[in-house]
A and B are shown apart, each in its own frame.
Chain A
């Protein structure tokens, strides 16, 4: 997935510099502050590349119990191949197998907590497989701490109060998420408010206004984050 190819845009409010392509198909991991919050899934789905193939969705047992299972009728035109395993080691194995297969649209894995098998080596294997096959891979981490990882982009996503719904002020409107890219190989880290326009399939990321630190280093690769 690249930000130039997919119809997604990145927009900062204060600066007018167009962002460089942020990421190629590789491993990204995503941390969720509240385990059951589906904001991260909404953000992830909005950034999937177009393609005909199914998404391989791997879940371990605790993730299934604590946060439920993917509900396809709410996901739009996405075909899902779901793998339900008990142990994190099986989840990682299934993700690796999936990344060998070029017919997939993406590989999403949900691993609960910090199991010992999810080491730096394991993430590096996933990242290299994903780069070799061109299939984007997302690792969703819940109840986990952001320790050493080879993920090329590391996000922390949470829910924000939704936009105003014009027809009914009492009802929640279009979803908004706070997306923090806290480590990246390709781009400036920063915090954005992400909104997703489902009709146009377009993610808008707007910088949070009181975020001077991001704007100060917003040129070229000078302030590149260390991976």
Chain B
């Protein structure tokens, strides 16, 4: 089965049109319509080359991520015909219709119904029914329209070897060997093929692919379970302006539904439907799956004022777009679990009010540059590990951008004896260093200069972390400059 989506207003069929993605050397063809295929355009070719022999080619950029998401939704939507479905590659669906076809009046009638339903979505589908995954794949793409196969060995024999889901290198090899049709390949003795492709995996092994297509090798459809969708709603007798009084009840209702299913929500969305047809929503997130109604209701505090109620709304829905299974945990005697839960709820409340980017936890990163060694990651995302202190002494505070100092009295070695920073003159009493940190050539711009860090104690006792950027005559700019980067306790 194959679905190629044409987004938006579908272009007429007689204009050659291709979808392009960025390749190594400019855009390459990702998908194409029938007119483009007839004009001789191939998938994977460069767009500039294809334009050369098809000057009126229309090129649009492909939305690969959007296509994947759409295909995943289509996969669930296609379960109207049978209970098991799975996404097959970037542009195919496999449905296991065993025992379901008679509900639609036979296989031919089912295929017609599918084609009609897909066309109402604006999609062109190439369909086939076959006893195996491999045979259905090949027949849908290279066989006759809506083909129904009961004997794959006979039906596949005339198809090209391209219909066997092989990679391009293997196809080229088979082509050079003169094996153009699957029937020709099937006539070769097994032992010969097995010896020739002994170590190749599925994509490069014609024998295994042939076995799969003919049903000699099992290839079951492992269908993914659809996650339950939790949603409650409250219909109001007349339009109201403020959803706050209904929120606790909705939260309790939703939590009851989730408790029954053993789930907790990671995100929660409140949608209001205004009487004038407008829809607006507020969304909050939690650090751990939760089904505590009071806690969830509190997350909306201060957010509901941002809703513009207009002339009022008469329908409120509360849904959990992201739900996860949670285990019911026993509260321990030492209340440790309680504290962990309290902490995750604190993160939820802070993130809901201040934004998820305002609440962060440290994340150790592999780098010697002080500002890169420590990253900050949103606390909602996951629990962070402890950042281990480094062997070298590090300051307690780091300026987000180093500030340049004016050297008043430079000495040949070590930090300046006197410098001016933030309009104040500092005299260096003692110092430790240097600690040299070289630029990371795989990350930094070319021409970045090395840094020599000094722990400097001013005469008044304050301790700063100074660094000199570059060396004299290192060929990377003028005289080295000095910066303040941090402060020691």
Contact = CB atoms under 8 A, between A and B. Distances in A.
Contacts of B422: 36
Interface string B105-136: 00000000000000000000000000000000
Contacts of A39: 461-462, 489
B359 A81 contact: yes
A96 to B, nearest CB: 11
Interface stretch (B172-180, B335-343, B474-482): B335-343
A143 interface: no
A79 to B, nearest CB: 5
B489 A71 contact: no
Given A71-B486, A73-B389, A101-B345, A172 B463 contact: yes
Interface in B367-422: 370, 373-374, 376, 379, 384, 386-390, 393-400, 422
* Contact-size category for A: 35 or more
Contacts, number: 166
* Majority secondary structure, A binding face: mixed
B489 A43 contact: yes
A73 B390 contact: yes
A98 interface: yes
A68 B397 contact: yes
B345 A38 contact: no
Contact of B339 (A73, A77, A103, A165): A103
Contact of A53 (B343, B387, B390): B343
Contacts of A196: 489
Interface stretch (A17-25, A119-127, A154-162): A154-162
A72 B431 contact: no
Contacts of B430: 162, 170-172
Interface residues of B, number: 53
A190 B458 CA distance: 26
Contacts of B455: 171-172
Contact of A98 (B346, B396, B463): B346
B110 to A, nearest CB: 56
Contact of B429 (A36, A73, A161): A161
B354 A102 contact: no
Given A69-B397, A171-B431, A76 B342 contact: no
A71 B488 contact: no
A71 B371 CA distance: 9
A168 B432 contact: yes
A80 B345 CA distance: 16
A42 B489 contact: yes
Contacts of B81: none
A123 to B, nearest CB: 21
A160 B461 contact: yes
A38 B463 contact: yes
Interface stretch (A8-16, A82-90, A205-213): A82-90
Contacts of A42: 396, 488-489
Contacts of A158: 461
Interface in A125-169: 158-162, 165, 168
A197 interface: no
Contacts of B361: 54, 79-82
A50 interface: no
B358 A101 contact: no
The 10 closest A-B pairs by CB, nearest first: A42-B489, A103-B339, A74-B394, A38-B487, A171-B432, A172-B457, A159-B461, A71-B398, A68-B397, A103-B343
5 contacts: A68-B487, A76-B389, A102-B338, A172-B430, A196-B489
Given A53-B343, A70-B397, A98-B350, 8 more contacts: A38-B487, A73-B389, A74-B389, A79-B384, A98-B346, A158-B461, A162-B461, A175-B489
